[in-house]
Amino acid sequence: SAVAPEAPSTNPLYASADPLDHLQAQFDLVNAALLGGLTNVAVIASGTGGSFDLAYPSLIANVGRHNLHHGSSDPAYLAVIHEATRRHVQMIAKLARSLASTPEGSGTMLDNTVIVYLSDNGESHHSSAEEWPVLMVGGQNMGFLNDGRTTVFPGVRTATNRQLSNFYNTLGYAAGLALDDFGSEGSSRIAPGPLSELWA
């Protein structure tokens, strides 16, 4: 059975000045909401999208995420970026373990859930958005491969290149929607439809 999350006033993660603690609190809240059947969909944002000043005081003092990326040629800054990403992935793994330990239907809640982690900025700072790393966890009962593979699509300006919108098409198909286009890409769309390489 689901356990109610702590009230924000009693949870030290909410009172922390560190956005990584706030993020963990959000993951805990999403976990409770999913386990309690309050929602089937959750979005957690951890990027700099709305604030160039997002900082990680537990990792480095007085440097925001935006400036970390500008200075990523500095090994110390790059180490902070990697550590923040490692912490993000640890939170995802904790959520995945919780869902994997929860029976649901003919498997576990993780089998019936797909967790998606992607950058808010593509392959590099001031990205051209031609490459976009995506991490997927779970979703086996939704038709996704679940074998720990890494799939890399050929580079831009090749006939077999695929775009992030193809990934969104894939999620649409998993939800039962035959979604072959996405947004308003128009002539910039290379190929319609989902990524067959992700299906079991």
pLDDT of residue 6 exceeding 70: no
pLDDT the model gives residue 11: 83
Strand ranges in 39-185 using DSSP code E only, listed in sequence order: 103-104, 107-108, 114-118, 134-138
64-103 confidence digits (pLDDT tens):
888 888 888 899 999 999 999 999 999 999 999 999 999 9
Split at pLDDT 50, 70, 90, the class of 50 is low
Task: Compute φ and ψ for 118, nearest 5 degrees.
Answer: -145, 155
pLDDT the model gives residue 191: 85
What is the share, in percent, of the chain residues with pLDDT greater than 90? 50
pTM of the model as a whole: 0.89
Match 């039962």 to its residue by tokens. Answer: 176
* Angstrom distances, CA of residue 16 to CA of 12, 29, 58, 92, 144: 6, 16, 10, 20, 37
Instruction: Cite the DSSP H helix spans in the chain.
Output: 12-15, 19-35, 65-70, 75-100, 164-174
122-144 confidence digits (pLDDT tens):
777 777 777 888 999 999 999 99
Match 């919780």 to its residue by tokens. Answer: 98
